[in-house]
Structure 1
């Protein structure tokens, strides 16, 4: 397939076409700092909750009776449940995929894959790992591994919505 199905690039671009505005850079910096602040506060919250668990176990009871034993057991159980509840989303590693997506085969959809490859090449964007279609109107890119994508570049999956097709 030698014919291009995308439009040719213009010969001349304005020099400042891709220049980022100062307000965009400021807002992006604020967003990144906010995310870093969130993770810092979250780690501090988890550390303080596990310290609360430690205190619940090691706190000395001055007068031992049924009520103080029940209060200590309640404090231990409550602090452990609170710490585990706060920590549980870190272990939620499963990335839920919509059930209505259909994975496209490259051999059966050569023209579409060539079109997407050409767009990726001309824009410098990475090629998607897989391409799906679904009956929704929207199109989107998703990560194959949510947690790994926070720290390393991971390949993404492209989903094309077919809501407007006939």
Structure 2
């Protein structure tokens, strides 16, 4: 049976997604609390209460979820059910729109689930609605993610960028 290339990519992506553990998104009773996460880091991470986290002087919130600061995290940000994790050491290397997009992307996982494109769209639409993201800021984000190759969870940076440009221009919420 012949499967079109796009369908094959989608099927492979879904299979890969099902094979990769996703502790950041599963509503698993074994997921850590923010306090357990901090304890696991040996106390090097800290918890910032919901609504008190700031990036470049801008107060950010993700509903009632706290933010954990972990400068040893192997990425700019991450999400577990009920809290976000930000690596301030890595975030200090990028522009304000990119920082705010990363935070909002991780917040998008809290509200919309594990899908990366959905979290990307959530982030750019949130930025547009809140006034911190302009078309120029979208291009800064695109420059940041353009080198990214696709993996089991993410499309390539160029694909994600095209999708975010489209989402940014739509006024309906995805």
- Superposed pair shares fold, TM > 0.5: no
Question: TM-score under structure 2 normalisation?
Answer: 0.28
